[in-house]
A and B are shown apart, each in its own frame.
Chain A
């Protein structure tokens, strides 16, 4: 099991603002992921991390950046938000070694006006 917390749940901001979406977990798991979910439901992997100071880009190119300074936190940042960044952002952890099961947070829904 994994407890994953994402904040904020909902965010409406204007174009050009800098935003950070927080993702934290309490179980000390190494592998964490960010997915972007478009209105058409599809899940796109945009970033992942296998531990502190490890970050990689996912399958979908994203203008966002991530950091992993502490095991518990995996924040995602947009330096200058645009309407095209409007989406649902889901954070997940993978606790198991011999299984691919992911545990997702409840998501952060971002709207950029």
Chain B
């Protein structure tokens, strides 16, 4: 089955700095890669996703890059703000399984200091 590794487990940055979270996956059939943000006391919420036919996707201050050859993808947050503090999860899913299940990374706790 799929295995998703996520690093780092914790990340502390100053407000205004950039933050990068990296994930690797094992199943070459995986072709859908979402990122979720989980704020304290809430469920995870999708913030951005990318499919394997695209190398990069941006949405305002967040971007995701995908390297299919190396089987890794990354989340980039620029101009971080205190409200970006949360736990971030990467995940992978395959069209071969009908996108029925997501395999999650172990999460990264991002702390943005004012």
Contacts and interface: CB of A to CB of B under 8 A. Distances in A.
A106 B41 CA distance: 7
Interface in A52-98: 58-59, 90, 92, 94, 96-98
Contacts of A104: 43-45
A99 B42 CA distance: 23
Contacts of A102: 44, 46, 102
Interface residues of A, number: 27
A41 B109 contact: yes
Contact of A100 (B41, B45, B102): B102
Contacts of B46: 101-103
A94 B102 CA distance: 10
Most buried by A among B32, B91, B102: B102
A19 interface: no
Contact of B34 (A90, A100, A106, A107): A100
B25 interface: no
A107 B42 contact: yes
A43 B89 contact: yes
A107 B99 contact: no
Interface in B36-50: 41-46, 49
Contacts of A59: 1
Contacts of A97: 98-99
Given A41-B87, A96-B99, A107 B109 contact: no
A102 B34 CA distance: 9
B29 to A, nearest CB: 13
A98 B99 contact: yes
Nearest to A6: B43
A42 B108 CA distance: 10
Interface of A: 4, 31, 33, 40-43, 45, 48, 50, 58-59, 90, 92, 94, 96-107
Ranked 6 nearest A-B pairs via Cβ: A104-B43, A100-B93, A100-B99, A41-B107, A43-B104, A42-B106
